[in-house]
Chain A
Amino acid sequence: MPDGATPFVLDVKDLKTVFRTRGGEVHAVNDVSFTLKPGELLGVVGESGSGKSVTMMSLIRLLPMPPAEIRGGSVMFEGQDLAKVPEDTMRAIRGARIGMVFQDPMTSLNPVFTVGYQIMEPLRTHMGLNKAQAANRAVELMELVGINDARRRLDDYPHQFSGGMRQRVMIAIALACDPKVLIADEPTTALDVTIQAQILELIKDLRQKLGMAIVWITHDLGVIAGIADRVMVMYGGQVVEQAPVRELFANPQHPYTRMLLETVPRITGERSEKLRVIEGQPPMLSKAPESCPFRARCPQAFDRCASQNPARFDVGPSHDAACFWDFKTGAPRHV
């Protein structure tokens, strides 16, 4: 490995994002750190409002500022700190080196431009292709993401595509300039189950062909189990646990992760068994956390949890959890 280079395509440290709203501050991302290796697929899970989207949008500075403000931290990508580079550098990375796919394919495409135009846009902006070259590449991309009869469909408008097909178009846009990292924010949530499965297959397939690293945000632990290499669990704007996927499912070390896993309905489980939900409210984010954000809903909580916010302790090989309770000994941690 050359000097100064890291083994990571993306190395995020202590990222802090705050929204300044009329009703006060919202601390949506609190000291989030994580890394992404080349070609790795990192799953990000957590309930609604846990800060998954805001974290990823902060990385590429895609949040409206104001109200959003990145208060601190660093985002190392290809030798640059994305939290500090000027906006035009950031723009050259967005859509070129880092691609994004969003949740709702029905609204994510511009209704008044043809699909071809929208796929060609990043190609022309970042790669300086002329119209004919961009059109050829767009056809290639559409074929790559499994759109039949691509050349003819170039001139179609988004409303002439189904939801699944539009999501394929979004993926084609995100992959247009052959990015190092693809951030997929719940790309299958808005689709029905069979289409979901097709999109999942497509991503798996593309990952093999193109070798980009992927951050995959989802609510669906089943999806994560199927495709992720590593999983990061978020709660209250923090990373509460992080582990290789098998390890996390087999050996969860944070009470929130454990409860999350219990809420997953099991096909083999008894029919009468009710779906379990996690009781209680998500934490208020009006202040930077000074105590464990999960303690109000946590069965393991004890006095220390109310006075200190736990750091992420190493609990196994490349496995860490932000909890004072040690499930291995069944007692509080002595650190």
Chain B
Amino acid sequence: MLTYTIRRLILAIPTLLFISFIIFLIVKLSPSDPTAGLPLTIPPEVREQIRQSLGVNDPILIQYFKWLKLMMWDEPLHLIEGWTGWNVAPEGGARIISYQTRSPVMDLIIQRMPQTLWVVGTSYIVGILIALPLGIISAYKQYSIFDQVGTFISMVGFSVPTFFTGVLFIVIFAVNLGWFPSVYNTTHVVTDWDSFVVQLKQIIMPVMVLGLYNASQISRYMRASMLDNLNQDYVRTARAKGLNEKVVVLVHVLRNSMIPVVTVIALNIPAVFGGAIITEQVFKVNGIGQLLIIAIQGGDVPVVQTVSFIFAVLIVLFNLLADVLYGVLDPRIRYD
């Protein structure tokens, strides 16, 4: 298993290089001007100088390799230095700089990451916590009222986009009922019980919107997987042993049903980040998603490239994680 994981990690490098090149090219080739956001009073010669200094006139391959080196080497070192305090980062070395803010892209990302992680992470956990029991009970009581209502709701939750449910939630719970704020205040700090309640109130809507979407997706997998397994012969064997239903369902059936579901959960984590882009817009959470949107609108090529590449890394890593988990959970899978 370890050798397999290491082999996969090594194989991930060419994949990521390829992806990085594609991302770089696509973003680079889009018709955007890094000086477009600057005041109109700046004369064309100065603009040209700015472009020159940003290096956007270099041959594209040179630009790519420069960016790649920063992305793969300098920025990770800066990250490590930031986390550990060790003095490893190249002194005064180049960074990937945002066109718009003129600060290193990595710093922006690190500023934005906690908000996204909070909202996305909590909503994913909430989603899983709703989905698993829902899927299990739905399958065990197939065609019952519970199952039919549950299946209907998850179908709706699955097909209605989050920007719609988000706005709907805002209209109902923030505007009409006034229970929760419609805007997520990221400067809010939790210090005591009262401020915790405030935090809870402001996070509840984005978390529910994303969480319900995740729940409807995962619960469908859970239900299908449980149904698959409930009809297997080994379930009859378990019952013939005189085990009680709880053990039959929650040990024998669930252990098997979780194999594909855990894989799906792992595979979906990067997608949830992507989905959060929209929810962050709706609730004005200034996370990674919002950073990306602003960067796209402002033609901030380095930010778009870097954030997209980080998403790509997440996808590759969680794919790997899903495969490894599959092997851990299913004794029939041998990776060597």
Tell me which residues across on chain B come within 8 A of A121, comparing CB atoms: 238, 241, 243
Whether the pair B256, A125 counts as a contact (CB closer than 8 A) is no
Chain A residues, Cβ within 8 Å of B238? 110, 121
User: Separation in Å of the A139 CB from the closest CB of chain B?
Assistant: 18
B8 part of interface (Cβ distance < 8 Å):
no
B332 near A94 with CB under 8 A, answer: no
Compute how far the CA of A274 lies from the CA of B242 in the bound complex, rounded to whole angstroms.
46
Chain A, 250-278, CB within 8 A of any chain B CB:
none
Which residues does chain A contribute within 8 Å of B201, judged by CB atoms?
none
> What sequence of 0s and 1s flags, for each residue 223-264 of chain B, a beta carbon within 8 Å of any chain A beta carbon?
000000000111011111111100100001001100100000
Query: Are B244 and A111 in contact, CB atoms less than 8 angstroms apart?
Result: no
Question: Do B243 and A125 have beta carbons less than 8 Å apart?
Answer: yes
Nearest CB to that of B231 among chain A residues? A64
CB within 8 Å for A110 and B241 given contacts A157-B331, A159-B331, A159-B332: no
Do B331 and A126 touch (CB < 8 A)? no
Q: Do the beta carbons of B330 and A94 come within 8 Å of each other?
A: no
Report whether B332 and A108 are in contact in the complex, using a CB–CB cutoff of 8 Å: no
A91 contacts B242, CB within 8 Å? yes
Contacts of A92 in B (CB 8 A): 242
B234 partner, pick from A62, A110, A125, beta carbons under 8 A: A110
Q: Does B307 contact A (CB under 8 A)?
A: no
A-chain residues with CB within 8 Å of residue B236 when the two chains form the complex: 62, 102, 108
| CB-defined contacts of A60 to chain B, threshold 8 Å | 240
Interface of chain B, main secondary structure: helix
| C-alpha spacing A104/B234, complex, angstroms | 10
- Chain B: residues with Cβ within 8 Å of the partner, total of 21
B322 nearest CB across to chain A (Å): 17
**What's the Cα separation between A109 and B255 when bound, in Å?**
13
Q: Does A285 contact B (CB under 8 A)?
A: no
Question: Interface residue tally of chain A, by bracket?
Answer: 20 to 34
Q: Which of these, B233, B247, B330, contacts A104 with CB under 8 Å?
A: B233
Taking CB atoms and an 8 Å cut-off, the chain A residues in 216-234 that contact chain B are none
Specify the chain A residue showing the minimal Cβ separation from B239.
A62
B264 to chain A, nearest CB (A): 17
Q: Is the CB of A142 closer than 8 A to any CB of chain B?
A: no
Pick from B241, B247, B259, B331: contact of A94, CB under 8 Å? B241
B329 part of interface (Cβ distance < 8 Å): yes
A185 to nearest B CB, angstroms?
Answer: 10
Q: Which residues of B contact A110 (CB under 8 A)?
A: 234, 237-238, 252, 255-256
* Residues of chain B within 8 A of A62, CB atoms compared: 236, 239-240
Q: How far is the CB of B332 from chain A (nearest CB, A)?
A: 5
Q: A105-131: which have CB < 8 Å to B?
A: 107-113, 121-122, 125-126
Closest residue to B329 on the A side, CB-wise? A112
Tell me the bound Cα distance from A92 to B329 in angstroms: 31
Q: Select A173's contact among B232, B241, B244, B247, beta carbons within 8 Å.
A: B241
**B255 contacts A157, C-beta separation under 8 Å:** no
Contacts of B259 in A (CB 8 A): 112
Chain B hits for A94, CB < 8 A: 239-242
Please tell me if A68 contacts chain B, counting CB pairs below 8 Å: no
Contact with B along A80-112 (1 / 0, CB 8 A): 000000001001111110011010100111111
Report yes or no: B234 in contact with A108, Cβ–Cβ below 8 A: yes
Tell me how far the C-beta of A105 lies from the nearest C-beta in chain B, rounded to whole angstroms: 9
Q: Which residue of A lies closest to B232 (CB)?
A: A107
- Tell me whether A214 is interfacial, beta carbon within 8 Å: no
Residues of B within 8 A of A108 (CB): 233-234, 236-237
| Cα separation A159 to B330 with both chains bound (whole Å) | 11
Listed A/B pairs (27) with beta-carbon separation below 8 Å: A60-B240, A62-B239, A91-B243, A93-B242, A95-B242, A95-B243, A99-B240, A102-B237, A102-B240, A107-B233, A107-B234, A109-B237, A110-B234, A110-B237, A110-B238, A110-B255, A111-B330, A112-B255, A112-B259, A112-B329, A113-B252, A113-B255, A121-B243, A122-B241, A122-B243, A126-B242, A174-B240
Contacts A111-B331, A113-B255, A173-B237 known; list 14 others, CB within 8 Å: A62-B239, A91-B243, A95-B243, A99-B240, A100-B240, A107-B233, A108-B236, A109-B234, A111-B256, A112-B259, A121-B243, A122-B243, A125-B242, A125-B243
